[in-house]
Amino acid sequence: METPREADLCFPRLNSSCEKPTQPYSEAMLIYVVLSSISLITVTLNLLVIVSISHFRQLHNPTNLLILSLAVSDLLVGLLLMPVEIIYIEACWFLGDVLCTLYYLADYIITTASVANMVLISVDRYIAICDPLRYPTKVTKRRAQHCVCLCWIWSVIFRIVLLHDHLKEPGRSNSCFGECVVVINYVAGVVDLVFTFIVPILVIIVLYMRVFVVAVSQARAMRSHVAASTTQRSGAVTVKKKEMKAARTLGLVILVFLFCFCPYYYPALAGEDTSIDASSASFEIWLAHFNSCLNPVIYAFFYPWFRKSIKLILTLQILKPGSCDANVL
């Protein structure tokens, strides 16, 4: 018969086995309900974004293609990453070291792709607002598609290089059998911090500052009542309401991203190794993943086309012939 000590082990017959994660029943149930709800909402909302942009032809523009790519990465967070973390809140890791490493590789690839998509979106808004006359020729759907593909390819290559040691020796960070832990050393953490957080965020902030400076200057020009001979040209370069609304909305997305990811990158900022454990409901990890739930919520509040699309999808109007040509703008 097992002793109480053996019953608490992931592998009772192994001396090097980890202890099973234990939490009070009421606390565990509350965590399960809350996190499962977040996961379900994340999947549902991002799926609605993907279906909307994919189905309605009016939404087939470069900006929405970038938003589509961001929604795909957010969907993968809610569909793949969150459920694994929920399952292993009170369970040992029995899937082996290889799957553990692949899980974290997927996690990092999706996160890196999300950041890269935000950079692309900020560049798109910068060109649309600061150089509107040449925007249609500079930013095309084909170029947007190529940029999205390069974004995902770069994310995969970058993460494979960064996690090379863990891919070569899976389980190297585990201290006992039954856990799934990846420890990113300080050097790799700094590289990760610089290339997937500091540099992208600096680029995004600089571009958005430039966008709002241009928007303010154009607003002042409008209020100054320029001469009638220049009215047509001024109207051509004036930022459209929908362009500025898109910039404000995506700016809010960036602020939410900063709020959600700063705690995750704190160890690298503090000069420490970053340890990620799949079997713990870490506040930093879930706050970072919660960003994937907030993005489509922001779209729903600020984008009328998203609200109209949701209505058509939920009422099954998209099943009717010709629904892809519906007016959602």
d(CA 228, CA 217): 19
Q: 3-state DSSP call for residue 321? A: coil
pTM for this structure?
Answer: 0.82
Nearest to 204 by CA among 253, 244, 240, 238: 253
For residue 235, what pLDDT is reported? 47
pLDDT tens-digit readout, 91-144? 777 788 888 888 888 988 998 898 888 889 888 888 888 888 888 888 898 999
Q: Where are the beta strands (DSSP E) in the chain?
A: 181-184, 274-277
Q: Residue 19: beta bridge partners? A: 9
pLDDT the model gives residue 237: 47
Residues contacting 94, CB < 8 A, separation 6+: 10, 178
Interatomic CA distance for residues 280 and 119, integer angstroms: 31
CA–CA dist 101, 168 (Å, integer) = 10
In the predicted model, residues of the chain with pLDDT beneath 50 are 1-2, 4, 227-238, 279-281
Q: How far is CA 57 from CA 54, 72, 81, 131, 309, in A?
A: 8, 18, 31, 25, 12
CA 43 from centroid of its chain's CA atoms: 12
What CATH number has the domain spanning 27-325?
1.20.1070.10
Of 201, 59, 218, the residue nearest 122 (C-alpha): 201
| Tokens at 232, concatenated | 């047509």
Supply the DSSP symbol for 271. Answer: T
Identify the pLDDT of residue 4.
45
Q: How many CB atoms lie within 10 A of CB 116?
A: 23
Predicted local confidence at residue 213, as pLDDT: 77
pLDDT computed for residue 157 by the predictor: 93
Single-letter amino acid, residue 172: R
Confirm if 318 and 132 have CB atoms less than 8 A apart. no
CB 4 within 8 A of CB 19: no
Residue 211 · residue 245 · CB < 8 Å:
no
The pLDDT, as a whole number, for residue 144 is 92
Give Cβ neighbours of residue 99 (< 8 Å, ≥ 6 apart): none
Give pLDDT tens digits for 286-314: 888 888 888 888 876 677 888 888 888 98
* Confidence (pLDDT) at 29: 82
